[in-house]
Amino acid sequence: MNKKDIANIRKQFKLNNDLLKINEIFNVYIMKESSEVYHHQSTPFELLEDEQKELFMANFKKVLTGQLDQKLFELKFHREAEDNSQLILHQGLLSSDMEEWKEHMLRLVEKMLNDKQYEMDIVVTFIRGEYMKPMKRQSEEAEESERDTVYSNSFILCSMNKTQDPKKELLFDYVEKEFKYNIVVDPIINLKAPISGFLFPCFTDNAADVNHVLYSAGKANELNYHFIEEVLNAEEIMTAEEDKIVFEEIVKKVAGERINTSTLSNVYDEIYHVIEESEEEEEVPKLDYKDVERVLKSSGVKDVDTEKVEEAFKTVIDDEKYELKANNIVPKPTSKSIKIKTKIADISISPQDLRFVRQIHFGGKLSLMIEVEENTMIEGFELIPEVLFEKVENEED
């Protein structure tokens, strides 16, 4: 799934939407002390009150919110795993019997509890529904409405949420005209910040892909590997942060530990060009060792060859065939995403402005020089330009 596919289904989670039908909602309460199922309950979603529906809708949208490879990850199932979750989910998706559907979901919950101790009570919520997307009209002359023909796909969405103790509050009773201490013992289910979740199957170009599942992490770049490997039975995945670290280490192996801003800026420009070309073809842009070699050569890095880059891939990631996702290894081009840290100050600049920054030696000291197009303002004051480099004429004897 790309970000457009995810956005299309995420925006459907709203009340009174005829393009999204949620059949059942199944809640399972897990006790932290025993790591056992304390209670479970299945209800037709339509029977919930609107206020409850809105809470859950917001929760489901949270599961589907975040950057790809940072918070959301398309995972491939490991088919050789015992008690394969792909099969469980597929059977649950096709099941027409309510009790059978619940049994499939409880099997997944059992896997969540296997060799896992939670720090707080957990509520796992499953929904089964149908997502519909209108087909695009072939031409403006077409008589039928775009709602007449739709893509229709069934799905299962899971959301894991922690509980928290109720707040201790002092209330005022208008009728009795007295202050009262509010005593609530029921735990509060925090639906605003799901700690994990998934969507099955994935959807690509309006087609269901049952070989992949969309995993949602609680926080960016913080994966629950027990959930990925033992619950979903999915293959190993790299985060965007890990991809970036791998790329940086590969460049260091090839070009050395030190690099100037001009060369680094050229490297980013080359990769941005790859991304732009891939966007036209609607493909996920990736770089293998041959692509990295070309990028470094085009950027002005000296002594680069295929053998050197291939060896760097082997050393850093132990896989010379590994492909880096281009979007993961460069700063965001539309924001001040490059952070320059010094003991004196921290500076944030956009990638296209990196070429205006230089590290120089001046007066026997290491200095950072930034080329600007206009006078600089500090605390409302306009700085006076200072001439630091002056030509000294030789005096005549």
pLDDT digits 0-9 by tens, 278-316: 876 667 899 999 999 999 999 999 889 999 999 999 999
Q: Is residue 168 part of a domain?
A: yes
**What is the tens place of the pLDDT at every residue in 245-260?**
999 999 999 998 888 8
**What is the tens place of the pLDDT at every residue in 137-167?**
545 554 545 555 677 889 999 999 998 877 7
Q: Is residue 48 part of a domain?
A: yes
Distance of alpha carbon 330 from alpha carbon 327, whole angstroms: 6
Per the structure, the count of domains in the chain is 3
Residues 213 and 254 in one domain: no
In this structure, the number of other CB atoms found within 10 A of the CB of residue 304 comes to 18
In percent, how much of the chain has pLDDT > 70? 92
Residues 68 and 164 in one domain: yes
- Backbone torsions φ then ψ of 254, nearest 5 degrees: -90, -45
Last residue of a domain, one of 212, 231, 250: 231
Residues 249 and 357 in one domain: no
Asked if pLDDT for residue 233 goes beyond 90, the answer is yes
Last residue of a domain, one of 204, 231, 258: 231
Rg value, the chain, Cα = 28
* Collapsed DSSP state (helix, strand, coil) of residue 152: strand
Residues 281 and 181 in one domain: no
Residues 47 and 115 in one domain: yes
Mean pLDDT of 331-350: 88
Residues 258 and 123 in one domain: no
The pLDDT assigned to 48 comes to: 94
Domain that includes residue 76, residue range: 3-133+148-231
- Backbone torsions φ then ψ of 19, nearest 5 degrees: -95, 0
The pLDDT assigned to 396 comes to: 45
Q: Is residue 164 part of a domain?
A: yes
Q: Is residue 387 part of a domain?
A: no
The pLDDT assigned to 137 comes to: 52
Residues 8 and 106 in one domain: yes
Residues 292 and 171 in one domain: no
Q: Is residue 389 part of a domain?
A: no
Residues 162 and 47 in one domain: yes
